[in-house]
Chain A
Amino acid sequence: MDTVLSKGVFSHFGLLEVQARNRLIRPQQSSRVKELKAEVAALKIKREQLKAEIQTHKTLQKLRLSVDKQSIDKEVEEMEEEFADTELLKLMAKHSHIKDLIYAHHLLGGYNIIKTNNDKAVCVSLATAYEGFYLDTYNLEIDLRSVLRISHHNIPPFIPLNSLAEQSNIQTDVKAFLELLSLHLNAYAGRKQQLKLVKEQFKSVEVMESNTLCTLLVLMFTASTKRTPVLCTLDYSDHTKSLPTRVLFECEDSDLPNSPEWKEHCSLLMETPVHKALMILRNVGDII
């Protein structure tokens, strides 16, 4: 009060004014403080959430690793004490594992492939099938070094593996090489199977000549008209197909091969597999 009296009433008023203003500002600051406190709380909650997510991810990784090693049950037992929701996590791990597998399979063009030799090589399995039946399976081991090299295989020597590898540029495009090889092998398996069926089902048809790659087939059957023997040559010059590229009939009676019905037979043999074509011819009655 002494200061008030010494400085004057107006200065006192000024002081009171300042005090009153301060009292107005402080509640704003406290609300600001409250806001900040609320933000801090929210961030804390978020931090807890992220921590929980990281933890889930870590367990998922662990489970994924164990799924990869196929020992998931043991790992799950260890973790059951720690977490609820292990069922869900197990499923999630398996799901991501399968997704990765499918993607890898897609990358390789759908061939059965596994890693070997401490991940230094891969072993590819090529299956062959004809008319719905699985035939031989061929395997290839490819060394994964700076230069890809086929180290071990059970592909028969009459399939020109090295020239196929060069042709499809195995170093840059393994998938193309595997596809080309698969085409060759499947076509060979198809032709071999056709030959086998012809020998089994048609005892009256004689196989005069064939070769190991099954690219040449000479058959002799008897035409029902005049009972003349007809020599039929089937040339499979496209090694990726199981249908012939050229059919030739030879007969003592030189008119027979030129007759329209035998020309039809020619086109039939070019379009249907041998055993089916012979069956048709036999049913129609043109050959015995």
Chain B
Amino acid sequence: MKHITELEMINVIDSPNQSMWHALQLIDPGDDAQTVEFIQFKKQFKSHLVELVRHVSIKIKKHTDEAIWIRIAWGDSYTRPNHMKPTYAVHHLQTPYVFVTTLTSKQKPLLSQALLLSTQYQTIKEANLSGRKLTAIRDLLMKQYQQMFPNSFPSLLTETKENVPDPHKVHEQAGTASTRGRLACETFGRGALPQIETTVYKLDTKYKDPTNQTMSERSRPFKCVVKFESKNLLESLRHCATSGIVSTPVAQLLSSIPKKGRNFFYVTDTDAASSSQRPASQV
């Protein structure tokens, strides 16, 4: 049994883009949070979780890129740990993020408690970011893609344009096009972007359409869910901004995806264009 779990863990570490991952954020670090090291974390986590759940099988491994992989097989006071449905958690020490797979509502508070005690943080909450590709959501939250700032030298941007300007052609909108490109890159980043695949906006706002009287007159807010799906959502949004389909500077609803590192938003009328911080009710 031990070998099987070992192999399964190695398999998941090697190809992490198979299950559905959710991000959690740790808040309010204690004074010692910055100096927690691996062995201490491992001991503390195991002891705390075993205290909370009597029958549980925990395996902790440290990957070469300093990521700590935790495999948990849950049982309870009467049953043995169920190795068929393990939970995986990934954490980088000294960062406030934890990525977890399949977690039931009963298991979540137990795992949260163990994590808080072993990392010396005070609270944990949903980061409203989920996806199939662990590498993508991790890169987005930890900002591991190439971001662009206003003081990057403009010459770097022109590399991507056609290098041979035809003297007979005059590009009418060259100025506005380059501004759009620059703003798009500043919002979304340059080069390869993390492969986020979906974004969901849950709208609970008043219907606003001057041509449709019946809907606009309703006093109750109009609830709907808008979902964007793509193989690489951030790249498609960046392309929309560069080509002018989306107006620049990019609207806050779209720029919040890379800026806040979220892909689930609950939009209400209280703040005009920004998303409220209500956590997702889904797991």
* A and B from one complex: yes
From B29, B94, B96, B151, contact of A114 by CB (8 A): B151
Main secondary structure of the interface of A (DSSP, over half): mixed
| Cβ of A210 under 8 Å from chain B | yes
| Cβ of B143 under 8 Å from chain A | yes
Residues on A with beta carbons closer than 8 Å to the beta carbon of B274: none
From A154, A157, A237, contact of B95 by CB (8 A): A157
- Expressed in whole angstroms, the minimum distance between the Cβ of A157 and any Cβ of chain B is 4
**A213 x B94 contact (CB < 8 A):** yes
Complex alpha-carbon distance, A114 and B93, angstroms: 34
Complex alpha-carbon distance, A156 and B93, angstroms: 12
| Cβ of A37 under 8 Å from chain B | no
| Cβ of B52 under 8 Å from chain A | no
| Cβ of A163 under 8 Å from chain B | yes
CB-CB nearest in chain A for B258: A152
How many A residues are at the interface, by size bracket? 20 to 34
Complex alpha-carbon distance, A86 and B149, angstroms: 38
- Expressed in whole angstroms, the minimum distance between the Cβ of B254 and any Cβ of chain A is 15
Please tell me which stretch of B31-39, B107-115, B155-163 contacts chain A, meaning at least 4 of its Cβ atoms lie within 8 angstroms of it: B31-39
Number of residue pairs A-B, CB distance < 8 angstroms: 57
**A160 x B35 contact (CB < 8 A):** no
Main secondary structure of the interface of B (DSSP, over half): loop
* CB proximity to A under 8 Å, residues B1-55: 29, 34-35, 37-38
Given contacts A125-B151, A141-B149, A211-B94, contact A216 B142 (CB under 8 A): no
Residues on A with beta carbons closer than 8 Å to the beta carbon of B147: 139, 152, 154
CB-CB nearest in chain B for A125: B151
- Expressed in whole angstroms, the minimum distance between the Cβ of A167 and any Cβ of chain B is 12
CB-CB nearest in chain B for A157: B95
Residues on B with beta carbons closer than 8 Å to the beta carbon of A160: 29, 34
Complex alpha-carbon distance, A157 and B93, angstroms: 10
Given contacts A114-B151, A141-B149, A211-B66, contact A157 B142 (CB under 8 A): yes
| Cβ of B150 under 8 Å from chain A | yes
Residues on A with beta carbons closer than 8 Å to the beta carbon of B69: none
Interface string of A92-118 (1 = CB under 8 A from B): 000000000000000000001010110
**A152 x B151 contact (CB < 8 A):** no
From B38, B97, B142, B259, contact of A209 by CB (8 A): B38
Complex alpha-carbon distance, A163 and B29, angstroms: 9
- Please list the 6 inter-chain residue pairs (A to B) with the smallest Cβ-Cβ separation, ordered nearest first: A158-B94, A139-B149, A116-B150, A157-B95, A212-B66, A154-B147
Interface residues of B (CB under 8 A from A): 29, 34-35, 37-38, 66, 92-97, 141-143, 147, 149-151, 259
List 26 contacting pairs A-B, 8 Å CB cutoff, sorted by A: A114-B150, A114-B151, A116-B150, A123-B149, A123-B150, A125-B149, A125-B151, A139-B147, A141-B149, A152-B149, A154-B149, A156-B143, A157-B97, A157-B142, A157-B143, A158-B92, A158-B93, A158-B95, A163-B29, A209-B38, A211-B66, A211-B94, A212-B66, A212-B93, A213-B94, A239-B34
